[in-house]
Each structure stands twice: as structure tokens, then as C-alpha cells.
Amino acid sequence: MSAVGPKVPRVAPVEASEVDAETKELLDALGDPGRSNLVRTLARHPRIFKRWVRYHEALTHGTLGDRHRELLILRAAYRAGCDQEWTQHQQVASRIGLRPEEVSRTREALDPSTWSPVEAALLRAVDELVDHASISDATWQQLAAHYEEAQLIEIPMVVGFFFSMGVGINTWGTQEP
């Protein structure tokens, strides 16, 4: 599922000479990710960018385990039709130990028999959030049997954040080399 978006960037990434000192400091602190076209595109809106950095950090270092968070992100990127976000997180997933066939299955119709019960519930939660803007009672009960309250709060936040990033990337025409 790929989105139909512009073939050229609608919003160009900033150059270092175009940003204020605080934004430059944030870009430098991010290191290599601060040089990505996505991050430099977001830096065109310094007020949002400064808060985005903190929110992104909170979600990517939250209470969910790495494996479950990356499954949510991969499925959300796929559902947003954002190949770029999916590819970036495919690399993250590989680094944290997801097998290539597991990563690939996040782009397929959900077959609960190929996942643990909680992982199938996570992937179903992504689909339900994208399709219905809510997690069904049945899926919520499955998740609640496994996760603490803070994690249950985090699940739709991770999905919403990364789905919206995919939508943004698609809309802005952000291109990574």
C-alpha cells in the first residue's frame, strides 16, 4: 500500500544557515538523524519541531518493549502508505532483532496464527485505529490482559504519531537519499 503523493518535495528541508540557534542546537544534538531530510523539513516550523523532538523521544523510549513498539510503527507506516517511514523502521526492527519475515508480515493481511496472541492484538489495534479511530473492546481486553495502564495509553499514541508522520511525509513529498 503506497500513497499517491508528490514526486518532488513540496517543503524543502532547511539548511543549517536558515535556522535559529536553538533549532541548530537541536539538529546538532540529534546527530545523524538531525541531518535527515524529514527532520530538516520539520525544522522549517521551529515551534512544532522543538516539541516534536521531545514527543518522538518519549514515544520511542516509552514503556513498551522495542519489539512491540516497532511492530506498531511498521504497521502504522504501512497503513499510512509511507514506504519511506516503513523502510526506515524496517532497519530499526532489524537492529532490535525482528526477523526479516516478521518485518515483511507487517505489510500483509493479518493472520493471527503467524503471531503470538499479544502481537496479533497489537497489529489488529493498528488496523482498528486507522479504520475506526478506536480500539474495539475485544482487542482492548486482549491488550489489557498483557499490558499495564501506561502501556495501554502509549499504544494508540505510538500508532497515531507514526501514522501521522507517514501522512506528513507523503504530503510534503519528503525524500531521503
pLDDT tens sequence across 38-93: 999 999 999 999 999 999 999 999 999 999 999 999 999 999 999 999 999 999 99
Q: Which CATH architecture has domain 66-169?
A: Up-down Bundle (1.20)
User: Identity (one letter) of the amino acid at 154?
Assistant: E
pTM value? 0.93
Give ranges for CATH 1.20.1290.10 in the chain: 66-169
Q: How far apart are CA 17 and CA 57, in angstroms?
A: 25
Candidates 39, 37, 36, 63; CA nearest to 50 is 39
Q: What are the C-alpha distances in Å from 144 to residues 74, 93, 124? A: 21, 24, 14
